[in-house]
Amino acid sequence: MRLFLHRHALVLFLVVMFGRGILGMLTVKGIQLVNPELSVQKDLGWLVMLLYAVCACLVVKWVRIDKEIGLIKPTSSKDWFVWLPVLIIPLTLGFYLGFDTTWGHVPLLLIAALGVAINEEIVFRGILLRAMLPFGKAVAIIIPSLLFGAAHLGNIFVGGDVTFALFQFAWAFIGGMAITAMRLQSKSLLPAIGFHFILDAVEYAATGEYGVHSIHYSLGWLLIFVLLNLAFLVYALFGLKLKRKGVSVVKNTINAN
């Protein structure tokens, strides 16, 4: 089974996606049998997201692709510093939303943000990216990001504002391509997880919600976040292009010698 999943990365992706969903649902139902008043959105969301992250980590470790997908330390400090300009996105988000310091569940929201960051980066920029790379870098950047964006449309069916969810799809798709491009620049997934955590932590702590927002936000601000992600994508693709040129120069130098 382990060897089969190692060889068939797309099957592994589907197993993780459906497996974690079933496990999360069973966990919530089990807890609600004891205390029916607890809900996912208000009380158990952090636990589900942490459970997803643990499942993703255990599966890639069991299949022995954890290092292959980037769960290793970056080889250079540049792999961290290159993300600094991108922090304008969570800074802008925090400026717009502000922070409700009276919100009592901030620690749980931060746990949820960490769980989401670990889980989604391993699944989409790790497992699925590994499955798509044999088809070329363009496919590997676009397809996982498109599915990543589409996954956020599910928020519509759990009480999320439709307009917000549609814009969330847009910037998750665009930002997903940018994160994938930057992931391809290095061998480590950790900087992507760190950025994802900061972004979601700001959003969750500011709104007091786990990413499913029923409040209608300004159309102007939603457009601004799409544009910020477009700028992120341009920056990431430019960096990837420079990285490829650098590799080509090194190879040509070695061949010449």
pLDDT digits (tens, 9 = 90+) for 33-58: 998 888 777 778 889 999 999 999 99
Tell me if the pTM is above 0.85.
Answer: yes
> Hey, CA dihedral for 179, 149, 118, 194, is it positive or negative?
positive
| Longest distance between any two alpha carbons in the chain, whole Å | 71
Euclidean distance between CA atoms 239 and 245, whole angstroms: 10
CB 199 within 8 A of CB 172: no
- Asked if pLDDT for residue 116 goes beyond 90, the answer is yes
Burial pattern 195-222, b for ≥16 Cβ within 10 A else e, equals bbbbbbbbbbbbbebbbbbeeebeeeeb
Going by pLDDT thresholds of 50, 70 and 90, the confidence category of residue 118 is very high
pLDDT at 248 over 80: no
Choice between 197 and 43, residue whose per-residue pLDDT is larger: 197
Report the SS3 class of residue 212. coil
Helices 162-185 and 219-256, packing angle to 10 deg = 10
Listed in sequence order, the DSSP H helices in the chain are 2-7, 9-34, 45-63, 78-81, 88-97, 106-122, 129-132, 137-151, 162-185, 190-207, 219-256
Pick 224 or 218 by higher pLDDT. Answer: 224
pLDDT, the chain, mean? 86
- Return the pLDDT at 40: 75
Query: How much is the pLDDT for 105?
Result: 73
- Does position 68 have pLDDT exceeding 70, yes or no? yes
Residue 214 has pLDDT above 70, yes or no: no
The pLDDT score that the predictor gives to residue 250 is 37
* N-term to C-term CA, the chain: 46
Nearest CA among 44, 16, 14, 50 for reference residue 29: 44
Residue 8 has pLDDT above 70, yes or no: yes
* Whether pLDDT at 126 is above 70: yes
pLDDT in tens, 127-170: 999 999 999 999 999 999 999 999 888 777 666 678 878 888 99
User: In whole angstroms, what is the distance from residue 235 CA to residue 228 CA?
Assistant: 11
Predicted pLDDT of residue 189: 95
Please say whether the beta carbons of 233 and 174 come within 8 A.
yes
Higher-pLDDT residue of 159 and 83 is 83
Mean pLDDT of 105-117: 89
In terms of pLDDT, which residue wins out, 100 or 191? 191
Instruction: State how far Cα 217 lies from the chain centre.
Output: 22
Give the model's pLDDT for residue 181: 94
Per-residue pLDDT at 251: 42
Residues 6+ away with beta carbon under 8 Å from 247: none
Is it the case that residue 229 has pLDDT exceeding 90?
yes
CA 82 – CA 102 distance, rounded (Å): 34
Residues 6 or more apart whose Cβ sits within 8 Å of residue 105: 208
Q: Please determine, for residue 254, whether its predicted confidence score (pLDDT) is greater than 60.
A: no
Instruction: Report how far residue 172's alpha carbon sits from residue 152's, in angstroms, rounded to the nearest whole number.
Output: 8
